[in-house]
Structure 1
Amino acid sequence: MKSITKADLVKFANRFYGENYVVAYKHIGEDPNRHKVEKPKITPIVVNRDVESEFVTEFKKMESSAMTPKFLDFEKDISKAKLSSGIPFNYVHNKYNNTFTLTYIYDIGTFHDKEMALAFQYLPLLGTDKYTAEELQKEMYALGLSFNVSAGDKRSSVSLSGLEESLEEGMKLLEHIISSVEPDQQKYDEFVNDILKKRMDNKRNKRTILFRGLVSRAKFGENSPFTYNFSEIELKSMDVNKLASKVHSMTGYDHRVFYYGSKEMDEAKKIVEKHHRTEEQLAQVGDPVEFPERDINEGEIYFADYDMVQAEIILVAKDEKFNKELLPYSLVFNEYFGSGLSSIVFQEIREQKALAYSAYSVFRAPEEKDDSHYIYAYVGTQADKLGDAIKEIKRLLNDMPEVEEQFQGSKESAIKKLETDWITKASIYWSFESAKRRGLDYDVRKDNYDVVKGMEMEDLRNFFNDHIKGKDYALCVIGSKDNVDFDVLGEYGTVKELSLEEIFNY
């Protein structure tokens, strides 16, 4: 490529880019000459699940070596100690390279303090009494470091990552940022403009409207985690000095430290103790705002108008509170019934009856021990097939076809995933954090693996009958009011149309 000259490029362009082209023009507006094709009658095909091609037969004969699953032992894989200040210090050794990640974890988020969560997001844009924001970025870059923040619903964190040799200098800089950050009105105004731009984008995104907005409305009602946010007026009138003070106050809240790196634990701990500033008396975080999960009733239909030819539906049903005993069954159920091209839902709705361009169903476990499991079933279809698609997905959710060979394939797939899902590096600690939120103190995947290996079709049938069949499902629907037949939709319950303002609360 170094030998190519400008003259060579000109010669190439003259040779290949002549009059041999086609121009396509796209005009805005309705085409008065378009012709509507009448919907043809679809004849369902017979799904011959008991027949396989010669290629599949030969493929199955190929042997594959099974991997030995590797599960975590939190007591061995994570070293725990306390800093001299009493703050918990968690350590995972990096045996792969000379990099590190140091994270301060706070059990405080939007649900506890919306202003604090906003301050976390605002923090990376600010400078200090010593550096501008741009100078801080240059200092970090020169040290081979990066600085990140995360503000969630119930947890927030500040992390420093990069070259192990820069840990100590990086900590000095990080602690300086937290203690000496200064407000900047102009940066805040730009920050707010970005938030408002994202909100406009969310209102144009049909997946956000359906999967987050309408589903949240079905699960929680009007007051939900999805709608818990600042108004535009509140954002624009926020006191930036107050946000800076929120950042400074981080040193006074109870938290924990996680270090992943190549230094030995004692050495890393000494460096953190030397530079990590905290108040003598750490404040405990108050209780978060609660969003009770509501009971879902059959016949609830939530509709959002959107300019689209198709229509998309999600059926939502609530099951029991988190139960670890359900996890292995949900793994096989999701493989067999609702996930992938070989699943029952996809084959029955899309392949056999041509009622959808996409269809799936999933039994989802919560992240918190006090939250519930939920069943979701999605169908993306043509608006004129909406009624037939709803009828078919509801039939399947109450009558699961049983195909032994397909079950065995799904079971084997679940086993393979557990065998190959090796959790390593910093993810070891984050798996521990996830387990704690579910009230567990060990890696539950070992239990899942043992149960799945011994599972039979009868076990899956019992799981389906107890946790899927006969549930009250709410319908969340997005589509164009001009294309959706509300008489057909009304056959399944009472339709409540929601505006974008009602869905997003902004």
Structure 2
Amino acid sequence: MLAMLTKSIVLIVSLFLGSNASWSAAVIAVAPSAQTGSSTLGAAPAISRTLKGNVGAGLAHGTLALRLAGQIAPLCAPTLKASPKVLPSPQVTAFLERAQYVGISALRSDALPLAIPSAPQDSHPAALMAQLAQALAPLSVADVRKMPVQGLDSIARKIWDNQTALKPFEQPAESAAPDRQGGLSQGLHPAWEQGVFLPQTNAQPFPKDPLAVTVHRLSNGMTVYLSPNKQERRVYYEIAVRAGSRHDPLAATGMAHYLEHMQFKGTRHLGTVDFAAEKPHLDRITELYDKLFKTTDPKQREKLYSEINKASKAAAKYAVPNEIDKLYAEAGFTDINAHTDYEETVYEGNFPSNRAELWARTESERIENPIYRIFQPELEAVYEEYNTGQDDPDNGLWNAADAALFSGHPYGRDIIGLGEHLKNPSISRMQEFFRERYRPNNMAIFLSGDFDRDEMLPLIEKQFGRLKPAAIPPGPAGQVRPLRGVEKTELLYPAEEIVALGWQVPGHGHPDEDALLLMNVIMHNEQTGILDLSATKAQKVKEADASLDIRNEAGAWLAVASPKEGQTVEEAQAVLLEAVAKLKAGEFTEQDVQSILTNFEVGEKLRLENNQWRVSLMRRSYIQGQQWELASQRLERLRRVGKADIVRVANKYLGADHAVIYRRKGGHEADKVAKPKLTAVPIDPAKHSAAFRELSALPVKALTPRWLRRGAEYRSLSRAWGRLYWAPNKISDVFQLEFHFNMGTADDGRLPLAFDLLQLSGAGSLDADEFEKALYRLGAAMEIKLTDDKKYFIRLRGLDANFGETIKLVLRRFSEPNAAPGAFKQLLSIERGDRQDRKLDADQIFDALGEFAKHGKDSPILHEISARQLGELKETELKALLKSLAGMRRDVIYSGSRPAREVADLLSASQPGLEFKPPPPQTPDRLILPKKPRVVFAHQSGMAQALIGAYAADGVMDARELADESVFNNLMGHGMGGVYFQEMRESRALAYTAQGGYATGKRLGDDSSIAAFVGTQADKAKETMRLLRRLMLRPPLDAGRVSAAIRQAQEELLTESITFRDAPERVMEWRRRGLPGDMRKGMLKELRSYTPARLEAFVARFKKKPLTFFILADRDRIDIEALKKFGDFEERSVDELSPF
């Protein structure tokens, strides 16, 4: 066995270093070519750099341990002629086995650093083995075999450090720009290979890869993942940087997140009309913030803020806010956004397939030449985001869990950073962080959509290949402190009570990762998990779930429960521990595991349809340091995991050492970041940079619009049970079906409880657990959902081969529900407790407040049954209501591989002999139209923010105004270039979230309205409302903004591709609104001749509309008298907004 292990390690080394390479190879280097000035690989004089201390820092985990194994393994080989065979100790043998196992994934990469530490002349492999044996001597063989990958690398690093001939790591100068005349360079630059994982490339997709991904390397080390998908004529992209909160400087946390915000502020060429004139003011702002960073005296800080404000106003004269977003919006880009996580910052979006050059030029420009202008307003937006998070009970719970489970590591703090650091931002530190980490060899591009690889790759090389690589420094040190016993944390929030139990598990790349994934799904999959059946559906608690959070260097598994009425968090904790004990005892079957794999396969097929999901799978493999070949085989790997593996990891990791977080009801004192005074940044919508005009004028290939054609992309069939809206799935054998009952609480206030009872019921002879397992074995899942107009529908997904059986099973549940004895009584008890919790949830209160403001006593929420009616309710009533739904005409949406008539016939056969009744008549949605402006206020104690909504009813919209609606919404509310975002956040920093537009009725005859929402600091409510009123009733119609909105509306229609999953629902919505099929063709014709005068006529009627504000805030933090000046004032209690 040892000989086979040695041979395997040596083989791996030769595969990736070449057959003539050895582990004592000299440093391979890059030197400038005297002839071309480009970088070439060859026998040039080596750059002097060897490794000590930093050896392996930042490399993919396991690489360093495998290198040490490679030095030692030949010593143990029976065929070695240079020295006699040496028998290693059992611990060393275990180390070699473990190093091979965890290191292969990291090593199977053309990114293997070419600078291999040379074994010093006075050091023999036997000396390395002796040191390794000494280091491992205190450990048992079992301990070595289960040692985490970080432990292996730590031991290897210490042994390298003991080799005195190894010199300190020297940072080399950046190599000259590569010559790209002949296409993509196949060479790598050792100067910047250190500290990064560069995945293995593959020019052709792997045979079993359903995404057909190819992985490529640019000449500067940037990695590119390509996955063509021709469903839509669009391309979804992400650009990921390994620069997350884990990499934040310890004295300046929140840096990665700050930088994410500032990367949208433009470049030397975009976002400015005169960078040369702007730069001195920007330099002054940087200088002042650096002084602020070091200043603690309040008076001095106030003076500095005053100077910053002055310099910001001077710089703003040259700035063009959010010009990148405006450029993208006019070109038909959508979903422009970014996010920061622990390991990454990611920039994302969706562009039309004919706009690849615009995308590549713009994105490479903002990586190469970012300028952090308009810093002060964005700083305040981050403050608002931080303060919002401090008010959020769920955010508080997860932050407490991270602090307990990842103590001693950067993972243990909030991604947004510490409040004390946010108060002292430093632009120069941000620039330094950018220079260190935003390097092409530390970044990757991911594309999925309609493109040709042979065209896309050279374009990416041309634009992104000019970015300069550099060595990436290691992130701040961090070692997760192991839990000892039961470690408890107490939280107080005015919210529902929750208990969370957390256990520490290994990070990504550990051999147990796949088994842990299936362990989590065995516990919670929303259908048949141990927690689902034994806790939630058994109603032992109000709700329970579980989650697996595996990060690169450590992980955690959490089980969470909210207690039911009359139950303590400690009692809910006991229910969770009981479920964990069942898991560890193996109280599940191999069939349960197989059902999970069936449903996982269905989920994988669904993800293949979505470009965003496809990209997220690629990105995760890159960030986690996993080769794509291995990542693409996830389902095959999971098939090798059995019940025994799951029980083993459960017992291994879910032991006595764990964290408990109790969130109890009570007052919460949040740490808030105070905002400095800010003068509004003037925004001139007519201004544009020369680069904007140049990029906007790039030639593009015209796209032919794609309209939905009846009989091809969709069909509509009428049957006794209702109407079927059908679309073909030509990609997979997975169907999705929805039953739309056209009923909500306004039609019957018992419906929410009826659907709750349905979820606790079986069907006919099957009890609830048997029903869930039968459905899950079929690869099917069922959800109960609400439409935007508060109507219920159920959504099913599953395999078309099991379509008929699935439908029969689900419809039988409606006609023959059979909840367990006592389930109904427990349901009512949990409902009573849930109603009290809803009165503490700001989002739910605000939703109820908005419905009351719009509908008064006809609010759909007020139609739910009262506390008295709840006490009188009978189980037989709810069962009869469910049975009536089974016999009611409904709209059915289907997308799958079965023909339309076959689907219709199967649905008919599933309900033989029923006489279907029509649903209740649909009452048009009427909004309150007051004679005068008004303000509806509700108090919520402890809120630092004020949630502000506003609307003005506009009657029933004429279908001929669809083009007007589109242009208006593009003007006001779409993305960062919209008026609401620009004026509220970009110019004045009044809010983190600001959105609005024209809201059309959902059905023919429903009222439409102009509407907006803003979340702001309570002391800024008056200023925010004044601005909101002006923007809603007298929207700015600057020529530049209006022209841009018209172009955006046109591009939306030209580039939109309605997928087969969305087509049936869109057709149903058009029919409900009285529209004759796909009306987009007529809209485009109107938009091509649309004029600003037409938009002026559309919005002119808004001026006289009486505006209604509805506001949720703490009355002690908001100026009530100021609110009264905006209209007739009425205050409503939380009890008045709901029937309970």
TM-score (norm 1): 0.84
Query: In structure 2, what residue type is equivalent to 1:72?
Result: L
Which residue does 2:1112 correspond to in 1? 478
Q: How does 1:151-190 map to 2 (within 5 A)?
A: 156-158=792-794, 160-190=796-826
For 2:257, the equivalent position in structure 1 comes to: none
Contact 1:363 1:375 in 2 (8 A): yes
Structure 1 residue 314, shift from structure 2 partner: 2.0
1:416-437 deviations in Å (ceiling 9; x for gaps): 2223332232432222221222
Match of 1:71 in 2: 707
Mapping for residues 414-429 of structure 1, pairs under 5 Å: 414-429=1049-1064
Find the aligned partners of 1:244 and 1:188 in 2 and give their Cα distance: 11
In the alignment of these two chains, the number of paired residues is 499
**Residue 929 of structure 2: aligned partner:** 295
Distance 2:409 2:1026 in 1: 52
After superposition, give the CA deviation of every residue in 1:76-125 in whole Å (9 maximum; x if it has no partner): 54434555x67655543332222334554434443333335642442232
Map 1:446-457 onto structure 2 (within 5 A): 446-457=1081-1092
Give, in angstroms, the shift of residue 221 of structure 1: 1.5
User: Whole-Å Cα distance in 1 between the matches of residues 896 and 1016 of structure 2?
Assistant: 49
Is 2:724 the counterpart of 1:94? no
**Whole-Å separation in 1 of the counterparts to 2:152 and 2:894:** 58
Residue of structure 2 in register with 1:282 after alignment: 916
Q: Partner residue of 1:503?
A: 1137
Conserved? CA contact 1:171–1:276, under 8 Å: no
CA contact (8 A) 1:224 1:291 kept: no
Amino acid at match of 2:765: K
Q: What pairs with 1:354-503 in structure 2 (closer than 5 Å)? A: 354-466=989-1101, 468-503=1102-1137
What SS is found at the alignment partner of 2:1074? coil
Matched, 1:146 2:781: yes
- The verdict on how the C-alpha distance between 1:379 and 1:120 changes in structure 2, with shifts beyond 3 A counting, is closer
- The one of 955, 967, 986 equivalent to 1:351 is 986
Give the counterpart of 1:244 among 872, 879, 894: 879
Q: Which residue of 1 aligns with 2:211?
A: none
Change beyond 3 A, Cα 1:340–1:104: closer
1:360/1:379 contact within 8 Å kept:
yes
- Contact 1:124 1:148 (C-alpha < 8 Å) held by counterparts: no
CA contact (8 A) 2:748 2:863 kept: no
User: Which AA in structure 1 matches 2:803?
Assistant: L
1:499 is displaced (CA, Å) by 1.0
- Structure-2 change in CA distance of 1:131 and 1:397 (3 Å): closer
Larger mean Cα displacement after TM superposition, 137-146 or 289-298 = 289-298
| Pairing 1:203–2:839 present | yes
Deviates more, 1:490-499 or 1:102-111: 102-111
- 1:145 and 1:54 map into 2 onto residues whose CA distance is 55
Distance 2:960 2:683 in 1: 33
Find the aligned partners of 1:203 and 1:13 in 2 and give their Cα distance: 52
Q: Which stretch shows the higher mean deviation, 483-492 or 113-122? A: 113-122
Q: Higher relative CO (CA 8 A, sep ≥ 6), structure 1 or 2? A: 1
Render the CA deviation track for 1:112-171: whole Å, top value 9, x for unaligned. 333356424422321234211111122122222234445667754455431121123334
In structure 1, distance between residues paired with 2:675 and 2:1075: 57
Q: Give me the whole-angstrom Cα distance separating, in 2, the residues matched to 1:93 and 1:213.
A: 39
| Distance in 1 (alpha carbons) for counterparts of 2:851 and 2:1139 | 12
Instruction: Say which of 682, 686, 701 aligns to 1:46.
Output: 682
Per-residue CA distance 1:168-191 (angstroms, 9 max, x = gap): 333443344333322434333454
Contact 1:120 1:150 in 2 (8 A): no
In 2 relative to 1, CA 233–54 (structure 1 residues): closer, same or farther, beyond 3 Å? same
Secondary structure (helix, strand or coil) at the match of 1:162 reads: strand
CA change 1:13–1:199 in 2 (3 A) is: farther
- Matching residue of 1:264: 899
Amino acid of the structure 2 residue aligned with 1:163: L
Post-superposition CA distance 1:181-223 (Å, at most 9, x none)? 224343334544554555445433333333x222222221233
How far, CA to CA, are the matches of 2:905 and 2:708 in structure 1?
Answer: 27
Could you say if the C-alpha distance between residues 197 and 12 of structure 1 is closer, same or farther in structure 2, counting changes exceeding 3 Å?
Answer: farther
For 1:190 and 1:285, locate their aligned partners in 2 and report how far apart those are by CA, in whole Å.
Answer: 30
Pair 460,235 (structure 1): closer, same or farther in 2 beyond 3 Å = same
Distance 1:200 1:176, change over 3 A: same
- Aligned match of 1:125: 760
Counterpart amino acid of residue 1005 in structure 2? D
Q: After superposition, give the CA deviation of every residue in 1:439-473 in whole Å (9 maximum; x if it has no partner).
A: 2232222332222222222222121113x222110
Q: Matched residues in 1 for 2:977 and 2:892: separation?
A: 44
Determine the structure 2 residue equivalent to 1:7: 147
Q: Contact 1:359–1:377 (CA<8 Å) still a contact in 2?
A: yes
Determine helix, strand or coil for the equivalent of 2:857: coil
Structure 1 Cα separation of the partners of residues 1111 and 849 of structure 2: 8
Q: Which runs of 5+ in 1 are unaligned?
A: none
Q: Percent identity at matched positions? A: 24
SS of aligned partner of 1:397: helix
8 Å Cα contact 1:107-1:154 kept in structure 2: no
1:341 equivalent to 2:976? Answer: yes
Q: For residues 354-409 of structure 1, what are the alpha-carbon distances to aligned partners after superposition, in whole Å with 9 as ceiling and x for unaligned?
A: 44444333111010222111111333333333223222222333433333222222
Aligned counterparts of 1:393 and 1:136: Cα–Cα separation in 2: 51
Q: What is the alpha-carbon distance in structure 2 between the residues aligned to residue 74 and residue 112 of structure 1?
A: 33
Structure 1 residue identity aligned to 2:840: R
Structure-2 separation of matches of 1:129 and 1:282:
21
- Whether the 8 Å CA contact 2:735–2:797 is kept in 1: the answer is yes
Q: C-alpha distance in 2, partners of 1:160/1:47?
A: 48
Q: Which amino acid counterpart does residue 296 of structure 1 have in structure 2? A: P
- Length-normalised TM-score, structure 2: 0.40
Given that 2:725 and 2:1068 are in contact with CA atoms closer than 8 Å, whether structure 1 keeps it comes out as no
Post-superposition offset of 1:36: 11
Q: Within 2, Cα distance between the matches of 1:448 and 1:147? A: 37
Rate the CA distance shift 1:278–1:368 in 2: closer, same or farther, 3 A. Answer: same
Q: Which has the larger radius of gyration?
A: 2
Instruction: State the Cα distance separating 1:43 from its structure 2 match.
Output: 3.4
Question: What's the Cα RMSD here?
Answer: 3.7
Question: Which whole-Å CA distance do the structure 1 matches of 2:681 and 2:721 have between them?
Answer: 67
Greater Cα shift, 375-384 or 248-257: 248-257
Q: Which amino acid aligns with 1:49?
A: P
Kept in 2: contact 1:112–1:289 (CA 8 A): no
Query: 1:303 is aligned with what amino acid?
Result: F
Q: Secondary structure at the match of 1:496?
A: strand
Distance 1:188 1:395, change over 3 A: same
Match of 1:215 in 2: 850
- Give the SS at the match of 1:174: helix
Q: For the residues of structure 1 that align with 2:679 and 2:751, how far apart are their CA atoms? A: 58
2:953 aligned residue (306, 313, 318) = 318
After superposition, what is the alpha-carbon deviation per residue over 1:312-359, rounded to whole angstroms, capped at 9, x for unaligned?
A: 322211112132122211211122134432223333343334444443
User: What 5-or-longer segments of structure 2 have no aligned partner?
Assistant: 1-61, 63-100, 104-144, 159-405, 419-488, 493-666
Report the secondary structure of 1:341's partner residue. helix
> What SS does the aligned partner of 1:451 have?
helix
CA contact (8 A) 2:849 2:1110 kept: yes
